[in-house]
Amino acid sequence: MFFPKPDIIEDAYIKNYEEVYKYSINNPEDFWSNIAKELLWFKPWKKTFQWQYPYARWFIDGETNIIYNCLDRWLKTDKKNKLALVWIGQNLEVKKYTYQKLNEEICRFANALKSLGIKKGDRVTIYLPKIPEQIISMLACAKIGAIHSVVYSGFSVEALKTRIEDAQAKIVITTNSYPYKDKIINSLEKTIEAIKQSSTIRNVIIVKRVNEKNNNLNLTNVKFYYWDELTIKQDIICSTEIMNANDPLFILYTSGTTGKPKGVVHGHGGYMVGVYATSKFVFDLKENDILFSTADPGWITGHSYMTYGPLLNGITTLIYESVPDYPHPGRWWEIIEKFKPTIFYTTPTAIRALMKYGEEIPSKYDLSSLKILGSVGEPINPSAWIWFYKNIGREKNPPIMDTWWQTETGMHILTPLPSAPLKPGSCFKPFFGIMADVVDEKGKSVGKNKEGYLILKTPWPSILLDLWQNPQKYKETYFEKIKNKTKKFIYFTGDSAKIDDDGYFWIIGRNDDVIKVSGHRLGSAEIESALIANQKVAEAAVIGKPHEIKGESIKAFIILKHGFKPSEELKKELNLNVRMLIGPIASIDEIEFVEKLPKTRSGKIMRRVLKAQELGLPVGDISTLED
């Protein structure tokens, strides 16, 4: 157990977790409405909360806009001259934006979007690497009430195409080429390929990350514009659209148990309140804080704790364009020494990878600006936790905020606070207003120290509003997996966990067919369908296996069609198929050619059995196994 030092407790907003938690559970609506009142609303809400199975809605009939609180409110104060965003490029080039300057860029781009006919409710796909325009476009969409859908720049043409189609986006914002380590990636070619048959895309906006123009921009029905040429003519003033608290703010696609990614929808009001509160209390944000999150806005952490959370709290967000060990394995520590962030938020995979380079590398840098460290995305093993605490946190308290949450929850759910005593490897207890439990499939608590399904028993403001155009799937995924006759709020997380004698939560991992590779969420079925797309493959089954650095690695079992023979070349070809259809993050680590796969009598592949066999674990109930 790691106890916080008295001065940390003295300094923290929350000095006694248990006391505030008790109050919040007894009065959740008061708790959340008091927090919401710290933010600005065009019109106050009539009702704080409403549960209509399976939808939880907050701040009913309230009117606001997340931008009203991220930007507009600060422009009336001295904060307008404070740095909102500091961007550091791969070669350490720096771009700095004060709140005022960021607002001007957002307004210009919002006006540009309007000039192309984008209005409230329209979907805008953002396919950009980690450059300031990625964040500016998200915020510009929010300002005019358009719905942003950020697609991770590492995703393939096919992945981009399905996301554009599902959202029926009208416009794509992309870049020409961008540096990625020592390579140059051409995003524009991929974008053009993805929209060739699109029936909805009318315009493409290109950010010139590398100073070159592409002369090959002709597609019927689609117009191409360069960001700088388009925005230079625009006004630096643009009004902020008044939004209902439950109007959508963004769609973010994430992998689930089926082949098709799900569009998680978040709104302006509840999402704003949840992200504001968790950023403030978990990272204990004060006026002079600088938050360095290593996430990418292609994923939820880049939305909640790199973009919206810091701006809602009026602090500075620091963004580094590239990866931790390029051009050298001390790059992050070099950035911390130079730019002096106070909070550093990263993933266990990155920590494990950097551990490999040894303690000497971080020891060369001055990391004394850091006050709080955070971890997210996958379970952090105690040895990585201790290494991070010792070598990066320099054993200062508070140690590591191991924050458990999901794209769907929008905000931290199980999380420590700086004043809490911590156990390495545990993500502490639920945030205020939230009750969580570990249960069996009937919804019965399994008791202390036993593994079961992690569920959330009370709602929180930033719960997803829905799955885009798929309410049925929403209901099935989150509210029907556990028996629930009374139709009370019981949210199924898809994770397995344990609760120890002190009430601390320990996450074991996913209990569905989601694989977490380096913290990236991938669906087994998604990868299998990419494999089956190869003419030589008859059947494929994919599982995740524990991996020392990446958390999980991908193993595929393949049955070939008659007449085709296993070979090393074929393995390479299959891997290439997956990289083309999903992206390099889904690269397969191991392929095994087999004659048969374990199936249920109804023909469903039992990945669970494959996994147990692969890991030498008990196979569990196999009464439904066909053979």
Residues that bind ligand WTA (CB under 6 A): 254, 299-301, 375-379, 402-407, 427, 493-495, 507, 510, 516, 521
Residue 577 to residue 532: CA distance in whole angstroms: 9
Closest to ligand WTA by CB, 525 vs 560, is 525
Closest to ligand WTA by CB, 31 vs 404, is 404
Q: Which residue is nearest to ligand WTA (CB)?
A: 407
Say if CB 138 and CB 148 are below 8 A apart: yes
Q: What are the tokens at 308?
A: 């919206």
Closest to ligand WTA by CB, 142 vs 376, is 376
Q: Is 19 helix (H, G, I), strand (E, B) or coil?
A: helix
Query: In angstroms, what is the minimal distance from the CB of 86 to ligand WTA?
Result: 23
Say if CB 353 and CB 327 are below 8 A apart: no
Query: In angstroms, what is the minimal distance from the CB of 455 to ligand WTA?
Result: 12
306, containing H or E segment: none
β-pair type (436-439, 177-180): unpaired
Closest to ligand WTA by CB, 178 vs 404, is 404
Closest to ligand WTA by CB, 347 vs 575, is 347
Residue 334 to residue 353: CA distance in whole angstroms: 17
Residue 429 to residue 417: CA distance in whole angstroms: 9
Query: In angstroms, what is the minimal distance from the CB of 193 to ligand WTA?
Result: 26
Closest to ligand WTA by CB, 28 vs 348, is 348
Q: What are the tokens at 23?
A: 């109050």
Query: In angstroms, what is the minimal distance from the CB of 577 to ligand WTA?
Result: 24
Position 557, amino acid: F
Query: In angstroms, what is the minimal distance from the CB of 509 to ligand WTA?
Result: 6
The strand ranges marked E within 71-202 are 83-88, 94-98, 123-126, 147-150, 171-175, 177-180, 183-186
Of 562, 567, 586, the C-alpha closest to 576 is: 586
Closest to ligand WTA by CB, 203 vs 346, is 346
Q: Is 453 helix (H, G, I), strand (E, B) or coil?
A: strand
Of 405, 281, 388, 397, the C-alpha closest to 332 is: 388
Query: In angstroms, what is the minimal distance from the CB of 210 to ligand WTA?
Result: 29
Query: In angstroms, what is the minimal distance from the CB of 472 to ligand WTA?
Result: 20
Position 169, amino acid: A
Closest to ligand WTA by CB, 225 vs 404, is 404
Query: In angstroms, what is the minimal distance from the CB of 347 to ligand WTA?
Result: 9
Closest to ligand WTA by CB, 378 vs 528, is 378
Other CB atoms within 10 Å distance of the CB of residue 27: 13
Helix 568-581 / helix 524-532 crossing angle, nearest 10 deg: 120
Query: In angstroms, what is the minimal distance from the CB of 400 to ligand WTA?
Result: 10
